[in-house]
Chain A
Amino acid sequence: MQEPILQAVAVRKAFGPDVVALDRVDLTVVRGEWLAVSGTSGAGKSTLLQLFAALDHPTSGRILYRGQDLASMGDLDHYRRRVVGVVFQLHHLLPHLSVRDNIEIAMMGRHLSRRDRVARVSELVAAVGLEAQQIRRPPELSGGERQRAAIARALANSPEVLLADEPTGSLDPENVTRLLGLLETLNRESRTTIVMVTHDRDVAERAGRLIHIDAGRIVEVEGAAS
Chain B
Amino acid sequence: MSGRGSYRSLTFMRLIFQDLASRRTRTGLTAVAVAISVMAIVTLSLVTKSLERSAAAVLQMGNADFIVAQKGAPDILSSVVTDTQVVGVSKTAGVQSAVGALIDTFRLDAAHPQFLQIGLAPGELAPFGVKIVAGRAYGATATNEIMLGWQAAQDIHKSVGDSLKVGATSYRIVGLYSLAQVSGDTASMFPLIPLQASEHKPGTVTLVAVQVRAGASIDQVRKRIAEANPNLATVRLASEFGRVDRNLEFLKAAQSGATIIALLIGIIIVMNSMLLSLIERMREFGVLRALGWSRRRLVSLVIGEAVGISVIGAALGVGLAVLLTFSLEHGSSLQGYLQPQYSGWTFGMALYSAIGIGVVASLYPSLRAGMLRPGDALRKE
Contacts and interface: CB of A to CB of B under 8 A. Distances in A.
B290 A53 contact: yes
A213 B7 CA distance: 44
A77 B19 contact: no
B361 to A, nearest CB: 22
Contacts of B11: 114
Contacts, number: 89
Interface string A34-72: 000000000000000010010110000000000000000
A121 B6 CA distance: 12
B71 interface: no
A122 B4 contact: yes
Interface stretch (A88-96, A183-191, A197-205): A88-96
A134 to B, nearest CB: 8
B378 interface: yes
A156 B292 CA distance: 12
Given A55-B374, A92-B283, A118-B7, A80 B22 contact: no
Contact of B5 (A53, A78, A115): A115
B113 interface: no
A108 B16 CA distance: 13
A132 interface: yes
A157 interface: yes
Q: Is the interface of B mostly helix, strand, loop or mixed?
A: helix
Contacts of B291: 80-81, 105-106, 153
Interface string A131-169: 110110000000000000000010001000000000000
B294 A77 contact: yes
B284 interface: yes
A117 B10 CA distance: 9
B19 A78 contact: no
Interface residues of A, number: 37
A105 B10 contact: yes
A105 to B, nearest CB: 6
A119 B12 contact: no
A82 interface: yes
A179 B115 CA distance: 85
A109 interface: yes
B243 interface: no
B290 A101 contact: no
A77 B370 CA distance: 12
B7 A109 contact: no
B378 A118 contact: no
A196 interface: no
A22 B210 CA distance: 90
A77 B292 contact: yes
A77 B18 contact: no
A105 B18 CA distance: 12
A135 B21 CA distance: 16
Nearest to B15: A105
Contacts of A118: 5, 7-9
A117 B5 CA distance: 10
Contacts of A95: 22
Contacts of B293: 77, 81, 108-109
Contacts of A171: none
Interface string B274-305: 00000000011011111111110100000000
B1 interface: yes
A91 B287 CA distance: 10
A86 interface: yes
A33 interface: no
Interface of B: 1, 4-5, 7-12, 15, 18-19, 21-22, 283-284, 286-295, 297, 373-375, 378
Given A109-B292, A117-B10, 16 more contacts: A55-B378, A77-B293, A80-B292, A86-B290, A92-B283, A92-B378, A101-B18, A104-B10, A105-B288, A105-B291, A108-B15, A114-B11, A115-B9, A118-B7, A131-B1, A132-B1
30 contacts: A53-B290, A55-B286, A55-B378, A56-B373, A77-B289, A78-B292, A80-B374, A81-B291, A81-B292, A81-B293, A92-B287, A97-B15, A97-B18, A100-B7, A101-B10, A101-B15, A101-B18, A105-B10, A105-B288, A106-B291, A106-B292, A108-B10, A108-B12, A108-B15, A117-B9, A118-B9, A121-B7, A134-B7, A135-B7, A153-B291
Interface of A: 50, 53, 55-56, 77-82, 86, 88, 92, 94-97, 100-101, 104-106, 108-109, 114-115, 117-119, 121-122, 131-132, 134-135, 153, 157
